[in-house]
């Protein structure tokens, strides 16, 4: 079963994908993403791989006849892709050479362009889950792309907020965030010519870095060559900084937020929406998990157990350690 079910309380579609329950637990001595597996090319740098157990597909099954006029149901149309970062099974994003990370950025752009050609697709979401703490069972370095036929609720909320602020202030909301962080300085972790990495004033995760383009750009395909290079650079450095924080491979959820596609109902979103990456690292210390518990999940009342002005100091120290280690 793979279908979408309407939640009337939140006005949002829930993906039901019971087919994903059949995903096998991979043996420790075999990986489908390694060359020689028969599942991927024997030689590759970065690679797109169609998900074997997709929650969304271009030819979705007919939904089960369990809905009603009130409980709406529709087919789970879209696409789920796996993006392989490297043929090397144990490499992390920070361990890849910068030219290799640039190839990953180019592949993301290529897939965004290709997936956006389908007019039924409304939002393209690139993300990475890393570490057992966020449920990862496949250690081979990879991320994913979901192409949704409906606008995800969180993205819709961000779009609505950004459009409202733009109409009221004739300014991009995230450009304004950048100005506030640059002026305050203490939450900025690092920057390069084209990107800032900072802990936003409001983040609900102790180490929840945002990477934000300095120039107002709504999507990765708008980047010029220099901006693509600098995006690869700051991605690599943020990942390496995380790993230096507690001297271990640092778990995180990395979520790339870009403008929607094929969505005229959202108007001039290139003008008011701003490209950024949101990290959700589930650690609050070396051995302690920052759980999203009842208040966070049940009431959406986020609670950060630390002041980000303090954790920003820790992250800047980790960045200096990373620079020494990598001789940047």
Active site members: 142
pTM for this predicted structure? 0.95
pLDDT of residue 24: 55
How does DSSP assign 114-148, residue by residue?
HHTTSTT--EEEEEEEESGGGT----SSEEEEEEE
Whole-number Å distance between alpha carbons of 328 and 191: 14
For the chain, the structural domain boundaries read 2-326
pLDDT at 326 over 80: no
Residue listed under structure tokens 């390069």: 192
The string of pLDDT tens digits covering residues 214-247 is 999 999 999 999 999 999 999 999 999 999 999 9
pLDDT of residue 25: 61
Whole-number Å distance between alpha carbons of 197 and 180: 13
CATH class of segment(s) 2-326: alpha beta
How does DSSP assign 257-290, residue by residue?
E---SS-GGG-SHHHH---EEEEE--BSSSS-B-
pLDDT at 1 over 90: no
The string of pLDDT tens digits covering residues 116-154 is 999 999 999 999 999 989 988 888 999 999 999 999 999
Q: What number of other Cβ atoms are within 10 A of residue 203's Cβ?
A: 20
The string of pLDDT tens digits covering residues 256-305 is 999 999 999 999 999 999 999 999 999 999 999 998 899 999 999 999 99
* Mean pLDDT, all residues of the chain: 94
Give 286: exposed, middle or buried? Use CB within 10 Å, 0-12, 13-18, 19+. exposed
**pLDDT band at 22; cut points 50, 70, 90:** low
**pLDDT band at 55; cut points 50, 70, 90:** very high
Cα separation values, 53 from 22, 165, 290, Å: 8, 39, 29
Structure token digits, residue 308: 């980000």
Answer yes or no: are the C-beta atoms of 166 and 259 closer than 8 Å. no
């Amino acid at each position: 079963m793979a279908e979408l079910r309407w939640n009337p309380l939140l006005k949002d579609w829930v993906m039901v994908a019971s087919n994903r329950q059949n995903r096998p637990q991979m043996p420790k001595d075999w990986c489908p993403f390694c060359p020689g597996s028969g599942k991927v090319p024997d030689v590759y740098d970065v690679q797109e791989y169609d998900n074997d157990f997709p929650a969304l597909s271009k030819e979705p099954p007919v939904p089960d006849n369990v809905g009603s006029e009130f409980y709406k149901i529709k087919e789970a149309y879209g696409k789920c892709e796996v993006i392989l970062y490297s043929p090397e099974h144990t490499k992390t994003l920070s361990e890849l050479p910068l030219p290799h990370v640039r190839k990953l950025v180019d592949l993301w752009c290529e897939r965004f362009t290709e997936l956006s050609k389908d007019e039924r697709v409304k939002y393209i979401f690139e993300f990475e889950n890393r570490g057992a703490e966020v449920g990862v069972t496949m250690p081979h370095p990879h991320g994913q792309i979901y192409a949704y036929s409906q606008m995800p609720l969180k993205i819709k909320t961000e779009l609505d907020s950004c459009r409202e602020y733009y109409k009221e202030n004739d300014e991009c909301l995230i450009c304004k965030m950048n100005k506030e962080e640059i002026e305050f300085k203490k939450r900025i972790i690092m920057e390069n010519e084209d990107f800032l990495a900072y802990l936003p004033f409001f983040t609900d995760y102790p180490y929840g870095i945002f990477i934000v383009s300095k120039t107002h750009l709504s999507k990765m395909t708008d980047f010029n060559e220099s901006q693509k290079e600098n995006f690869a650079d700051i991605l690599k450095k943020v990942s390496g900084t995380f790993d230096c924080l507690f001297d271990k491979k640092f778990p995180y959820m990395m979520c790339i937020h870009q403008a929607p596609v094929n969505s005229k109902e959202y108007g001039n979103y290139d003008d008011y929406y701003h490209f950024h990456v949101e990290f959700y690292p589930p650690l609050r210390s070396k051995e302690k998990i920052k759980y999203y518990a009842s208040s966070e999940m049940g009431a959406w009342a986020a609670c950060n157990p630390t002041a980000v002005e303090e954790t920003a100091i820790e992250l800047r120290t980790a960045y200096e350690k990373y620079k020494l280690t990598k001789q940047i």
